[in-house]
Amino acid sequence: MAIRKIQEDPHPALRAKAKPIKTINERIRRQAIDLVDTLESINIGIGLAANQVGLLRRMFVLRLPEDEQTTIFINPEITEREGIQESNEGCLSCPGRDGVVERPQSVTVRAQDIDGNDFILQAEGLRAACICHECDHLDGILFYDRVTTE
């Protein structure tokens, strides 16, 4: 259990494509818990992807203000996207920067939990936008790449 340093743009890990996690072993579980601890240590954060702490693994964690606990997404894949919303986004790795991004209004995401169990989540509104933002991180994409109005 450790709080990791959040890397800031232009750190190269933020522009790298994270690798799929083949086996959820003790090391991966520890890294996932570190992500949870790191996110929970920051009041303003709602999502954190592995790239942001320099780990090129396909996982992120999410906790919206109304959530009782942080959810871990391992090998997430967005399988459905519906509608359009505009949301004002920022990122822990891009301090002082924000902008309006067009995202799907709702998404379906498939992922694994820390025990390797598959789960499917349907999300809309802010949660859908956050899931897209975090999945983008795993592909080396930052929100401002998609900003329509700065």
* Contact stretch for Ni ion (CB under 5 A) within 68-76, 84-92, 106-114, 123-131: 84-92
CB of 76 vs Ni ion, minimal distance in Å: 14
For residue 143, the minimal CB distance to Ni ion (Å) is: 6
8 Å CB contact between 62 and 49: no
Q: Are 85 and 102 in contact (CB under 8 A)?
A: yes
Residue 7 or 85: which CB sits closer to Ni ion? 7
# binding residues, Ni ion (CB under 5 A):
1
Q: What residues numbered 88-127 form the site for Ni ion, per CB under 5 A?
A: 91
- The answer to the question of residue 21 lying near Ni ion (CB under 5 A) is no
CB atoms within 10 A of CB 86: 13
Distance CA 127, CA 2 (A): 26
Q: Which span (24-32, 33-41, 64-72, 83-91) binds Ni ion, by CB under 5 A?
A: 83-91
Omega of the bond leading into 20 within 30 degrees of 0 (cis): no
- Cα–Cα distance for residue pair 10/140, rounded to 1 Å: 11
**Interface with Ni ion by CB under 5 A: which residues?**
91
